[in-house]
Amino acid sequence: MIEEAITSLVVNSKYSELGEEIVTEVKRRVLDAAGVALASLNSPPAGVMKRMREEFDGNAPIIGGGTASPDFSSFYNTLLIRYLDFNDTYLSREPLHPSDMIGPIYSIAKLKKSSVRDLILAIAVGYEIGTRLCDAASLRSLGFDHVNFLGIAASAALSKLLHMDEKKTLNAISIATVPNVALRETRVGELSMWKAGAAADAARNAAFAALAASKGFTAPAKPFSGKYGFANLICRDVLNFDERGIEKMQGILKTHIKKYPVEYHAQSVAEMGIQIANGVRGREIRRIVIETYEAGRSILADDEKWHPKNRETADHSLPFIASASIATGDMWLETYKLIGNRKITELIKKVEVVEREDYTAAYPRKLPTRIIVETDKGTVSREMEIPSGHAMHPLTQEEIEAKFMRLTGKRRLMEKLRELKEVPLIA
């Protein structure tokens, strides 16, 4: 039964059995997530949360400095990690941003003065459960959001961090799951602050659930397999959860770190757009064709994506990302200042996005994408199957550190996070 498979994996996992490769990868994800979070401190949604902070007093740390209640801290930290759409990704039957769960794990680890080994193990466990859920089922196709899996994984990870037994772990997962079903409406059309807020909410719910369960609060015993549980009402395929034990803990090794601050299906478009930029400079661009797979087209090329009015929509817009990267030869945080720019707007009108059946068939094992740029002086094209940062083409440690430095400029903090000898203060 899925409830027993998840709780058994949580309780029986041990730091000594992780292996150096997984420990190293966890450290890389903490460094990457911290850099992205710090770069989000002055974002509009962070400003809203800062104005709310005085209403949620407490002792849990928030990224950037200060403290708040554990639930607010978990929400805020995850919001920062998620907002720029620059943290890691997993692609399977369902996509996920696994490092979203580092937000609540960091909050509770600092609050409870956990060891760094407990922190690393909790993150590894969370990644494992999150990726296995994504392998088991698709929520997107049913109209539900991937953060449902995030909440389950984060509550399991926090249960491990708090050294809870199987009964309390199940209660934590159930409290996080049963009352908190998130809808896919979050990611349709013109996007809002809730694009990042949905993950933050799942993190907040997971933190509350784990803390409540740790004190003895009980919950439904069959949150997935019960008569009105997740499997029977939301997604039957969740019962396909891989029940193999901890000896197969490889989830984090299959996830991808982003090189560019765009939705993952646009990583190749940004990379190829930058490559194409020099070759078309000074030419009149007459047409841009993007050939991609179903997920890239349906998520990043619905009608509103040709008219992005905010950051949340633009970083999910293949037309904007292709146009901006080709026009500027870059794709970074500053690129989003070009939203509404006349030159970019005119270029977007020349973009066509086409789904190719052979590309869709190759997904998610590969992410084949092709850009064709027709100009007054001929055609330039690029094709890419695996973008930089993918698990099959990972960023080097030097590249991850360079990303952190470009985002924050905080070298001493980078060195602390690289070594991760203690649970650090991320500020």
The DSSP secondary-structure symbol of 286 reads E
**What's residue 236's pLDDT?**
97
> Poorest-confidence range of 53-57, 101-105, 325-329, 387-391?
53-57
Whether residue 176 lies inside any domain: the answer is: yes
Using CA atoms, how far residue 192 sits from 42, 180, 396, 418, in Å, is 17, 20, 33, 33
Pair (248, 273) in one structural domain:
no
* Token pair recorded at residue 295: 């997920």
Alpha helices in 40-115 (DSSP H): 44-52, 70-83, 102-111
* pLDDT the model gives residue 187: 94
The model's pTM = 0.95
Please give the residue range of the domain that contains residue 317: 264-384
CA-angle at 94, arms to 299 and 24, nearest 5°: 110
Looking at the structure, tell me whether residues 313 and 402 fall in a common domain.
no
- In which band, very low, low, confident or very high, does the pLDDT at 402 lie, cut at 50, 70 and 90? very high
pLDDT band at 244 (very low <50, low <70, confident <90, very high): confident
State how many domains the chain has. 2
| Block residue for tokens 């209403």 | 55
Distance between CA atoms of 245 and 234, rounded to whole angstroms?
Answer: 25
**In this predicted model, what pLDDT tens digit does every residue of 71-94 receive, in sequence order?**
999 999 999 999 999 999 999 999
Q: Answer whether residue 247 shows pLDDT above 80.
A: no
Per-residue pLDDT at 258: 98
pLDDT at 283 (0 to 100): 94
| Residue at 371 is within a domain | yes
304 and 170 within one domain: no
254 domain-assigned: yes
Asked if residue 426 is part of any domain, the answer here is no
Q: 214 and 190: one domain?
A: yes
- Examine the pLDDT at 417 and tell me if it is beyond 90: yes
In what helix (H) or strand (E) does residue 61 lie, and over which residues does it extend? Answer: strand 60-61
Provide mean pLDDT across the span 182-197: 95
CATH number for the domain including 360?
A: 3.30.1330.120
Q: Is residue 61 situated within a structural domain? A: yes
pLDDT exceeds 90 at position 246: no
Q: What is the pLDDT of residue 249?
A: 85
427 located within any domain: no
Question: What DSSP string runs through 1-54?
Answer: -HHHHHHHHHHH--GGGT-HHHHHHHHHHHHHHHHHHHHTTTSHHHHHHHHHGG
Spatial separation of the C-alpha atoms in residues 354 and 341, rounded to whole Å: 25
CA distance 175 to 219: 6
pLDDT on residue 54: 86
Averaged pLDDT score across all residues of the chain: 96
CA-CA-CA-CA dihedral for 76, 77, 82, 87, to nearest 10: 170
Whether 427 shows a pLDDT value over 90: the answer reads yes
For residues 6 and 139, state if they share a domain: yes
Query: Mean pLDDT over residues 188-204, rounded?
Result: 96
Please compute the mean of the pLDDT values over residues 174-197 and round it to a whole number: 96
pLDDT given for residue 248 in this prediction:
74
Judge if 248 and 303 occupy the same domain.
Answer: no
The answer on 333 and 406 residing in a single domain is no
Are 39 and 408 spatial neighbours (Cβ–Cβ below 8 Å)? Answer: yes
* Percent of the chain whose pLDDT exceeds 90: 96
Q: Cα dihedral sign for 304, 309, 314, 318?
A: positive
Q: Does 425 reside within a domain?
A: no
**Alpha-carbon distances, residue 231 vs 4, 180, 242, 391 (angstroms):** 15, 14, 15, 30
Give the model's confidence band at 245: pLDDT under 50 very low, under 70 low, under 90 confident, else very high: confident
**Which residue type does 25 have?**
E
Cα-based angle 30, 111, 176 (whole degrees, multiple of 5): 75
pLDDT of 289 > 80? The answer is yes
CA dist 95 and 90 (Å) reads 5
- 353 shares its domain with 412: no
Closest CA to 425 of 64, 56, 23, 78: 64
What is the CATH classification number for the domain harbouring 112? 1.10.4100.10
Q: Which residue in 272, 406, 263, 290 sits closest to 348, CA to CA?
A: 290
CB 38 within 8 A of CB 426: yes
70 touches 107 (CB < 8 A): yes
Task: Say yes or no: 158 and 67 in one domain.
Answer: yes
Residue 39 shares a structural domain with residue 90: yes
How many residues does this entry show for the chain?
427
Say whether both 275 and 178 belong to one domain.
no
The SS3 of residue 353 is strand
DSSP letter assigned to residue 332 = S
Residue 424 lies in a domain: no
Q: In what order do the strands lie in the sheet with 285-292?
A: 351-355, 285-292, 369-375, 378-384
Q: What average pLDDT does the segment 160-186 reach?
A: 98
Beta-bridge partner residues of 355: 292
> Which whole number is the average pLDDT over 62-68?
97
Q: Are residues 186 and 309 in the same domain?
A: no
pLDDT above 90 (res 232): yes
